[in-house]
Chain A
Amino acid sequence: KAGVTQTPRYLIKTRGQQVTLSCSPISGHRSVSWYQQTPGQGLQFLFEYFSETQRNKGNFPGRFSGRQFSNSRSEMNVSTLELGDSALYLCASSLDNNQPQHFGDGTRLSIL
């Protein structure tokens, strides 16, 4: 069974641009969560989608948004990029809230 797939693996953008990251969950998993990992703040929850609906949201500004498609694939978008948005963005999928989350290898976003 294929794992969680995130694309692209690496991305370089400049301040003010916007970016879209993609996540394909494990087949059959309907919950997709996104996390930001930085050296200073560690791993922080961004949001979670289940059956195309956002169920939970972390404490990030509105520049961070996401969506989930009918096939459970998910995208997250960051607009008006700031230097502080440089991070590893991790996607995780699970069957439901009572099952463990399985992580992809992440997208490393660098803002110049």
Chain B
Amino acid sequence: AQSVTQLDSHVSVSEGTPVLLRCNYSSSYSPSLFWYVQHPNKGLQLLLKYTSAATLVKGINGFEAEFKKSETSFHLTKPSAHMSDAAEYFCVVSSLHGSSNTGKLIFGQGTTLQVKP
């Protein structure tokens, strides 16, 4: 069965400094992995997705993530945090049936990113 673990429930950075949100995954096959962001009282917005193409994935708003199979990790990074980045971030894996994606997403517990001025 697939699963994701977000290693930090809360991360605090200063504006203009780098962001690192950590995620480890477990999957029998090569997974489809995603990062979503949720601002207060809003739905989830897709930041980026990994689907077995390039291991370094670039997303929106300057975020990127690197898929490392040897470490079963998919950490999210951004070189310089902005106040508007303050939100909750979810690492997500697509549930598989055999080696095929199903319509079910499995979410990590979320990381709250605080950005201090």
Seen from chain A, the residues whose Cβ lies within 8 Å of a Cβ on chain B are 4, 6, 31, 33, 35, 42-45, 48, 50, 55-56, 58, 90, 92, 94, 97-98, 100-106, 108
| Cβ A55 vs Cβ B102 within 8 A | yes
Which residue of A6, A45, A98 is within 8 Å of B104 (Cβ)?
A45
Whether, in the assembled complex, B110 has its beta carbon less than 8 Å from a beta carbon of chain A, the answer is: yes
Q: Does B7 have its Cβ within 8 Å of any Cβ on chain A?
A: no
Does B49 belong to the interface (CB within 8 Å)? yes
Q: List 27 A-B contacts (CB under 8 A).
A: A6-B43, A33-B104, A33-B105, A35-B107, A42-B107, A42-B109, A43-B90, A43-B105, A44-B107, A45-B104, A55-B103, A56-B95, A58-B104, A92-B105, A97-B94, A97-B102, A98-B101, A100-B34, A100-B46, A100-B49, A103-B36, A103-B44, A105-B41, A105-B42, A106-B42, A106-B43, A108-B41
Whether the pair B46, A102 counts as a contact (CB closer than 8 A) is yes
- Nearest-CB residue, chain A, relative to B49: A100
Contacts of B44 in A (CB 8 A): 90, 92, 103
For A102, what are the chain B residues with a Cβ–Cβ distance below 8 Å?
Answer: 46
List residues of chain B with CB under 8 Å of any chain A CB: 32, 34, 36, 41-46, 49, 51, 90, 94-95, 100-110
| Pair A48/B102 contact, Cβ less than 8 Å | yes
Indicate if the CB atoms of A33 and B103 lie closer than 8 Å.
yes
Residues of chain A lying within 8 A (CB to CB) of residue B45: 103
CB distance from A87 to the nearest CB of B (A): 14
* Contact assessment for B105 and A97 in the assembled complex, using a CB-CB cutoff below 8 Å: no
Interface contact B107-A43, CB-CB below 8 Å: yes
Minimal beta-carbon separation of A39 from chain B (angstroms): 10
Report whether A101 and B102 are in contact in the complex, using a CB–CB cutoff of 8 Å: no
Chain B residues within 8 Å of A108, by CB: 41
Contact residue among B100, B103, B105, B106 (Cβ-Cβ distance under 8 Å from A50): B103
Instruction: List residues of chain B with CB within 8 A of the CB of A101.
Output: 46, 103, 105
Contacts of B36 in A (CB 8 A): 103
Determine the distance from Cα of A6 to Cα of B103 in the docked complex, in whole angstroms: 19
A92–B74 alpha-carbon span in the complex (Å): 23
B residues near A43, Cβ cutoff 8 Å:
90, 105, 107, 110
A17 to chain B, nearest CB (A): 24
